[in-house]
Amino acid sequence: MWYRRNHLIHEGTKFSIQEVLGFIKGYVQEIKFCKKNLGGIDVFLKNGFWKPPGLGFIKINFDATFQSDSRTSIVAALARDARGEIRGAVTYLIEDVADAFIAEARACERSLLFARLMGFRCLEVEGDSLTVIKKLQARINDKSILRSIIIHIRELEHYFDKVVYLFVPRSVNAAAYALAAEGRRSRRSGLWNDGIPTSLSSVLERDRKSSIETIQSMS
C-alpha cells in the first residue's frame, strides 16, 4: 500500500482507478486494525499511561521528527527499566529520508543499535508507528519500501536474548517524541551521557507517577 502511495506522491506515477480504490481500502483497513487493537489493550494505554517493562527487560521507546524540505530526520531512543529509571538515551541525525514512515523505521533500527551498544539483552521496543510495528510483529517477508530496514532490524535481533515490539498511541510515546524534538532543536546527534534534557522532565515524571498509581490501583 505505502509503495504505491510513495510513488504517487514522490514520483508522480499514475495508477488506475482500481489501484487507487485498493489503496483507500487498505488505508481504511489499517485504521480499523488500529481501533480494534486499541480497544482491547490494558488500562495503561486506555488512560494514556506509559507502562514499565517486565522484570529483566529494558523498554526502549523510539520516535522521529521529519522535515520534508531538507529530507532529514532526527530519530530518538529512550531506554527505561522495570522501575521506570532511565538507562540511556540517544538522538541521531539521518539524511536523505524520503518520508515519515522511513524515518520511523530508521528510529526503530537505531533503537536496536543503541541497545546493542549499551549491552542490553532483553528488549521491549515500543513506538507509535503502527505500520512499522505491524511489519515487525508479522514475521513474514516484507516487500514494501521499508524492506531493507526491516531486514536489518531482524539481523540485529540476533544480538539479543529476546526482542518484543509494541505499538502505543502518541500520547503514551510522548517522552520519545520530546527527546526527538529536543535533538532537532539542539542539533545533537549521539548519546546523552550528561543526562536527559530538562525539557523532558515533566513528561518523564508524568510517566513515572501514572505507572505507579495504576499499578497500586490494580493490586
Question: Over the stretch 69-83, which tens digit does the pLDDT of each residue have?
Answer: 999 999 999 999 988
Residue 184: pLDDT band (50, 70, 90) is very high
* Residues 199, 158: Cα–Cα separation, whole Å: 35
Q: Is the pLDDT of residue 192 over 80?
A: yes
User: pLDDT value at position 102?
Assistant: 94
Contact partners, residue 69, CB within 8 Å, separation at least 6? none
Residue in 191, 197, 206 with CA at minimum distance from that of residue 89: 191
Residue 139: pLDDT band (50, 70, 90) is confident
**Packing angle of the helix pair 201-218, 174-186 (nearest 10 deg):** 170
Residue 1: pLDDT band (50, 70, 90) is very low
Distances (CA, A) of 159 to 77, 122, 150, 167, 174: 18, 10, 15, 22, 28
Q: Is the pLDDT of residue 169 over 60?
A: yes
* Residues 111, 131: Cα–Cα separation, whole Å: 17
Q: Is the pLDDT of residue 36 over 80?
A: no
What DSSP designation does 135 have?
A: H
**CATH architecture of the domain with residue range 45-218:** 2-Layer Sandwich (3.30)
Residue 79: helix, strand or coil by DSSP? strand
pLDDT in tens, 95-124: 999 999 999 999 999 999 999 999 999 999
pTM, two decimal places: 0.78
Give domain limits for the chain.
Answer: 2-40, 45-218
- Cell numbers that stand for 99 in this block: 518520508
